[in-house]
Chains A and B, each alone.
Chain A
Amino acid sequence: MKKKVEKFEKGFLTFFNDIKNELQQTTHHLYDDVANEAASAFETGKLQLPHKKMEDYKYSDLKKHLKSDFVFYTAPEKAKVYPKDLFVCDVPDLDAETVMLINGWFHDYDGKKLKTTDEGIVYGSLLYAYENGYKEIIDAYLNKHLNTGSPLVALNNMFAQDGFFVYVPDNVVAQTPIQLINLVSALEEVFVSPHSLIVAGKNSQAKFLLCEHSIFPKYFLNNSVMQIIALENSHIEYVRLQNAHNESYQFTSTYIHQTDNSSVKTNTITLHGGVVRNNIVASIDGKGCYNEMYGLFLVDKGQHVDNWTLIDHKQAESSSKELFKGIIDDYATGAFAGKILVRKDSQHTDAEQTNKNILLTSDAKMYTKPQLEIYADDVVCSHGATVGQMNEDELFYMRQRGISQKTARLMLLNAFAYDVIKDISVEPVKNAVINLVEKRLSGDLTRCDKCEIKC
């Protein structure tokens, strides 16, 4: 069922009350508690839609973008389309298991809502998994390591639809990546609210690629939540590829929870998007953990990308490495806020944060805010942030060898971006990302081949 919320910013609470019963029934009451809690927090003013007077959103006045009407699907639409027929994937040679959400609902193109890979990973629809054997696991982890006080999480909870569910059982070591496709495909301006959970069991290993796409040239809002639970000695790699047109609003919240000796590596690559806000929180709640948090964004025209990250070292003997880079062209803006929190007993924490940005024009803007909060005394923490132009000496050196200015710039920008991408371990994903970045930088990314908005 399609329902319309008028003037989202003003109407979303009324809208919630209107569709609440229907939505909560469709979602088997999985989110009722968090949804109702979120709604009353907004009602009482305890929570507000993000706006620039809030410290965490001072570079991204998201509320401003929520003035218009949106359509919401309170239940999945029937569609029997194969992912490959719907859109051409950006990562063509990928040998991956594929699952898809369309407009926030699970798309069982082959009639299966939950599958198991040859290597033993269970993946599919969160709602279906809850009813079909995975209640215990979902109850144990869903919404347990989220900050429900985040306005974006709360908003997602209120309208939570289906989401990806992936369970990597203990000791399962998988090479084949799971590709999660979060697709927006509607002829109207739609808002979606997927709510996903990945649980990696003890001693397990798995890799993920999350692709976010839109098919039609309508503006849309994608406010998604992803929870990644890495249990003891599990190793997860997660690449998020954001590539939507310039009329899109993409708000994402990723919550990572790590226990002893686990490692989680995330790459958040934003090739395109109108207004993008990524909240990425890693809670390192174990010893011997490693968190690698990488991010890259490329913006031009009036685009805006804001990465807000928190790495919370809750226990001793763990390390984290954070690297975010941005290339900002035209009059676009970028923002990075990175907080590293080392709690009192988190001795021997080793945390490194780097944020580097290149402004290609004098109108391009970048806001960067590193923030170290350290309450333990025996730790190694470093951070560095730079915002600069292209290196003229490097450019001249290359041009002196006969390389054109355009090629030299491109090579240098690719090199700049490569740092963030080089450690992606799935070769086809890495190569595709390198390729996409190259195309994006040289101005002929095919992103909009299928799209009428030539952004």
Chain B
Amino acid sequence: MSNKMLEIKNLHAEINGKEILKGIDLTVNEGEVHAIMGPNGSGKSTLAAVITGKPGYEVTKGEILFYGKNLLEMPPEERALAGIFLSFQYPVEIPGVTMMNFLKAAVNAKRKYEGKEEMSAAEFLRFIREKQKLVEMDTNLTNRAVNEGFSGGEKKKNEIFQMAVLEPKLAILDETDSGLDIDALRVVANGVNKLRSPERSFIVITHYQRLLDYIVPDIVHILYKGKIVKTAGKELALELEEKGYGWIKEQF
């Protein structure tokens, strides 16, 4: 029996007074890969935002526990340091902040949290190069400002690269596959698979079965109108690919 990592209980959340999440229950154990699918606008990214603590969302009911700790009381950076990573659906461009400075700040924050000393410049560079190889990331990208002028695919790769650097306990991948060409999709999936371990869990938000061929989920959920309406094994994704969401929409 593996340990419980994330527990979401009856989560209701709203933005600008509009309720988006309407009672979510979800438990993720160590080492599991969960896929969340569902039509556009059903609340998948909202769930990711609420888990990671994006300002602007109000949780009106329910709770989120991470290893038994109440996440909702923690600022976003503390949640990140506790081991939660989000690969953004739309990664933000930050002009003027170089990838290197950004990564250094993130890595040092993590090391400080873990009571470790900062890496030396040489150590850091070696570490970054290693991770770059892991996700076949173009080294030129790390010399630029964060995501600035990156192509859609490069931005997604950059998210996986950062995940490799930060080695989170729980990684939420929000449509990391969209906008990727076939080769890039394989690279991203390989990157994720290399990071899979019995202690690390993934929540993979996607619209396509294709990604799940590479990253095989243990459990597949369908989120619809702010609720998880169906949970099953990996065969559910195949069924969706075949039938679309029509039958779900009819049911609810």
- Chain A residues proximal to chain B, CB less than 8 Å: 392-394, 396-405, 407-408, 411-412, 414-416, 418-419
Contacts and interface: CB of A to CB of B under 8 A. Distances in A.
A317 B56 CA distance: 50
Given A392-B55, A397-B92, A402-B109, A412 B97 contact: yes
Interface string B100-118: 0110011001100100000
Contact of A394 (B80, B81, B86, B94): B94
A412 B94 contact: yes
A403 B77 contact: yes
Contacts of A411: 97, 101-102, 105
B77 A404 contact: yes
B54 interface: yes
A416 B96 CA distance: 7
Nearest to B91: A397
Chain B CB within 10 Å, residue with most, of A396, A414, A416: A396
B52 interface: yes
A418 B80 contact: no
A305 to B, nearest CB: 21
Contacts of B109: 401-404, 407
Nearest to B92: A397
Contacts of B96: 412, 414-416, 418-419
Interface of B: 52-56, 75-77, 80-81, 85-86, 88, 91-92, 94-97, 101-102, 105-106, 109-110, 113, 145-146, 162, 166
Contacts, number: 76
A412 B93 CA distance: 12
A415 B95 contact: yes
Contacts of A418: 96
Contact of B75 (A392, A394, A405, A412): A405
B92 A393 contact: yes
B109 to A, nearest CB: 4
Given A411-B97, A415-B97, A400 B52 contact: yes
A418 B145 CA distance: 12
B52 A398 contact: no
B97 A402 contact: no
Given A407-B105, A411-B101, A411-B105, A402 B95 contact: no
Given A398-B97, A401-B105, 14 more contacts: A396-B55, A397-B94, A398-B105, A399-B75, A399-B76, A400-B52, A401-B80, A401-B85, A401-B109, A401-B162, A402-B113, A407-B105, A412-B94, A415-B145
Contacts of A416: 96
A397 B77 contact: no
A9 B63 CA distance: 65
A396 B110 CA distance: 16
A187 B21 CA distance: 66
Nearest to B109: A402
B73 to A, nearest CB: 15
B103 to A, nearest CB: 8
A394 B92 contact: yes
Nearest to A411: B97
A419 B102 CA distance: 17
Given A397-B91, A415-B97, A402 B55 contact: no
A399 B95 contact: no
A409 to B, nearest CB: 12
A431 B113 CA distance: 30
B76 A400 contact: yes
Contacts of A392: 55-56
